[in-house]
Structures are given as structure tokens and as C-alpha cells.
């Protein structure tokens, strides 16, 4: 699906099933290619919130 770029930054380290590089869950990463544009945007919004949480606890890599 064109229009929403894959947020992967090739770190791929997980803490509690969440990638500390992009903020997506393992299930979201696996499903990414099959998601439509609105679903991808929703995943990105959730991932951004997760990354903010990781940064606040000093666990964000990169």
C-alpha cells in the first residue's frame, strides 16, 4: 500500500513485545504490508505514543 512509509529504522530490538526502534508491536510489524492507509496511520499514531513512553523511561534506542 503506497502513501504511508514503513517506519522501520533497522534497530529491531524488542522490549515487552514493542520494537524500541519504530514503536510497533511484533503483530503490527508482521501485518504492516496488508494494512490499508487508515490502519497504517493508526499504527503509526500508537507507535509514536509508545516511543514517547520509551524515551521518558530512557529505554528508547537510536
> Higher confidence at residue 50 or residue 2?
50
pTM score of the predicted model: 0.84
pLDDT single digits (tens) 29-48: 999 999 999 999 999 999 99
Average pLDDT on 3-18 reads: 92
Say if residue 60's pLDDT is above 80. no
Domain ranges of the chain: 9-21+32-62
- On the question of pLDDT at 8 being above 50, the answer is yes
| Nearest CA among 1, 34, 46, 58 for reference residue 15 | 58
Query: Higher model confidence: residue 62 or residue 13?
Result: 13
Q: Could you give phi then psi for residue 25, rounded to 5 degrees?
A: -80, 165
Amino acid at each position: 500500500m503506497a502513501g504511508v512509509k514503513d517506519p522501520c529504522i533497522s534497530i529491531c530490538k524488542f522490549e515487552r513485545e514493542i520494537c524500541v526502534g519504530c514503536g510497533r508491536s511484533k503483530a503490527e510489524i508482521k501485518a504492516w504490508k496488508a494494512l490499508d492507509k487508515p490502519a497504517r496511520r493508526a499504527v503509526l499514531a500508537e507507535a509514536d505514543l509508545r516511543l514517547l513512553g520509551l524515551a521518558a523511561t530512557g529505554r528508547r534506542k537510536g
